[in-house]
Amino acid sequence: MAKKLIIVPGMGNKSAEEFKVEVSDAFKNAFNLYQKYYGMSAEDFVEIIPFEYNDIFDQDREKMSNQAQPIVDRLDTLDSLDNGSESLTKKAIEEISKIEAGINDDDFFKTHWLDVFFYRFTILGEMVRIKLSNLIDKSILDLGGNAQRLHILGHSLGTSVLHDTLAKQYSDQFQTSKVKKLSVNTHKLGSLHLIANTSRVLESFIKVNLSTVKPGRRGCVHKYLEYRHIFDPITWPRAFNPSDNGNWISSDSWNIFKRYKLQRLTSVTNEHGNVHDINHYILNPLVHRELFSDVFGIKLTEDEKNEGYENYYSKTFGKVADDLDESLSKLKSFNIENIKGLFKSIKALKDFVEGAGGDFL
């Protein structure tokens, strides 16, 4: 029976199809590092199913903007309001309407920051979680109930969406309620791959170290892998760093059977230093080897691993890595251990990438 890989994108205004193409291309580039797999694609091994949620936010942004624009068009007639409560009312109408009318502009702030705002601070977040849960349910149904053939990959904000959805969808208890959650035993997923994990900095209704989103016996996945680039500042605020004390997962799961892995990446292969980009992550052997093994069922030989590494290493930019490290050093002097810090981090990387002539999407 086939396997499926659900992919959950991060911030931005990519459609589901665009993100699927991006991930497929990233895997193609990874396969091309190996002569035996040259020219192959991920779809040769697994069905890739993209999840789209920023269309929900886009729809809402458009509604807000359309409502406010007629008001903004008439604002100059408010000028006669100039005392006490009149000027306060005028100010309120002016400012609110201008913000709302501009909310649909396609600049970075609107497309990226608003995604985080809408997901984390508005009720639309629940709608997103329900849609993703429905997609996961449908995928398991299509796999004949065998959830271990389903694997999920999340990137950036997508990791928060993914974590929160699974936390609500799965239970590790014996259930008597009318609508049961999925069981961490019976419906355990094959593997979870979190690229640039933001689930802890954006956590809301449950702390990430207390949820069912973990590997092993009482978790909703068999294996849990996280990928973090040391120069990706978006992963710095409140990074999720579980410890091996038997609280989160058993010592056997951690040490003996390696059901949890955190891959720390250091190489830079993007000439503009966009280390947050999903292509950049997947190209790194530390990332794609895990996906090859757990999702595609490909076991590389030692010679193949060496071949892949050599071909990858020839693509690295040492100077870009040094420049990026220096540029981000200023960020370390701020307290970025919160959502505001996340935005500072996003901006810092964006400024560097665009300063180097690249696009930060």
Partner 1 sequence: MRIYLMISYCIVFFFLMSGISKADENTPVSQKISKPQVELNKFCKIKVDILNPKHFKDAYLEAIEIRENFCNPLNAESRNAQKYVINFYKHLNEVISLEDIDRIQKSEINELDKGPGLTAFNYDFSEDKTRMNIVYVDISRDSISKCEQKAKSISSTMECSDLMDEFNGIFEIVFGPVAIRDVIDHYLYTTNLGQEWDDFIELSKPQTIWERYVNGRIFSNKNSDDGFLPPPEKQLIFLHPGLAFENIGAAIDGDEVKESFSLDIIGVNWWKRDKWYAPSGISLTAIYSDRADIDDLGYGFSLHFKSKFFIGVSRHGSENGVFASFDLIELFKGKLKIKESYKAFF
Helix, strand, coil shares, percent, the chain, to 5 = 55, 10, 35
Burial of 323 (0-12, 13-18, 19+ CB in 10 A): middle
Decide if residue 63 touches partner 1 (CB under 8 A).
yes
Decide if residue 93 touches partner 1 (CB under 8 A).
yes
Question: What is the distance between the alpha carbons of residues 207 and 160, in angstroms, rounded to a whole number?
Answer: 11
Q: Given candidates 171, 199, 267, 269, which one binds partner 1 under the rule CB under 8 A?
A: 171
Decide if residue 330 touches partner 1 (CB under 8 A).
no
* Pick 160 or 267: Cβ nearer partner 1: 160
Decide if residue 355 touches partner 1 (CB under 8 A).
no
CA dihedral 235, 237, 243, 249 (to 10 degrees): -70
Contacts of 49 (CB under 8 A, 6+ apart): 4, 5, 6, 7, 135, 139
Q: Given candidates 41, 204, 241, 251, which one binds partner 1 under the rule CB under 8 A?
A: 204
Burial of 256 (0-12, 13-18, 19+ CB in 10 A): exposed
Q: How far is the CB of 199 from partner 1 (least distance, A)?
A: 16
The DSSP 8-state label assigned to residue 252 in this structure reads: I
Q: Given candidates 36, 70, 264, 334, which one binds partner 1 under the rule CB under 8 A?
A: 70
Stretch that binds partner 1, among 37-45, 176-184, 287-295, 308-316 (CB under 8 A): 176-184
Question: What is the distance between the alpha carbons of residues 90 and 211, in angstroms, rounded to a whole number?
Answer: 47
Question: What is the distance between the alpha carbons of residues 334 and 317, in angstroms, rounded to a whole number?
Answer: 27
Q: How far is the CB of 325 from partner 1 (least distance, A)?
A: 33
Are 290 and 193 in contact, with CB atoms under 8 Å apart?
A: yes
Q: In what order do the strands lie in the sheet with 221-229?
A: 47-50, 4-8, 150-155, 189-195, 221-229, 260-265
Are 201 and 339 in contact, with CB atoms under 8 Å apart?
A: yes
Decide if residue 310 touches partner 1 (CB under 8 A).
no
Cβ count within 10 A of residue 56: 16
Q: How far is the CB of 226 from partner 1 (least distance, A)?
A: 19
* Pick 180 or 330: Cβ nearer partner 1: 180
Six-digit token pair at 182? 């999925």
| Residues belonging to the chain | 361
Decide if residue 184 touches partner 1 (CB under 8 A).
yes
Q: How far is the CB of 250 from partner 1 (least distance, A)?
A: 9
Stretch that binds partner 1, among 45-53, 115-123, 278-286, 334-342 (CB under 8 A): 115-123
Decide if residue 99 touches partner 1 (CB under 8 A).
yes
* Pick 41 or 185: Cβ nearer partner 1: 185
Are 132 and 174 in contact, with CB atoms under 8 Å apart?
A: no
* Pick 300 or 328: Cβ nearer partner 1: 300
Binding mask 217-256 for partner 1 (x = CB under 8 A): x----x-----------------------------x---x
Stretch that binds partner 1, among 92-100, 224-232, 287-295, 304-312 (CB under 8 A): 92-100
Decide if residue 183 touches partner 1 (CB under 8 A).
yes
* Pick 192 or 278: Cβ nearer partner 1: 192
Decide if residue 162 touches partner 1 (CB under 8 A).
no
* Pick 257 or 317: Cβ nearer partner 1: 257
Decide if residue 8 touches partner 1 (CB under 8 A).
no
Question: What is the distance between the alpha carbons of residues 296 and 294, in angstroms, rounded to a whole number?
Answer: 6
Stretch that binds partner 1, among 43-51, 139-147, 227-235, 312-320 (CB under 8 A): 139-147
Cβ count within 10 A of residue 122: 13
Q: Given candidates 174, 314, 330, 357, which one binds partner 1 under the rule CB under 8 A?
A: 174
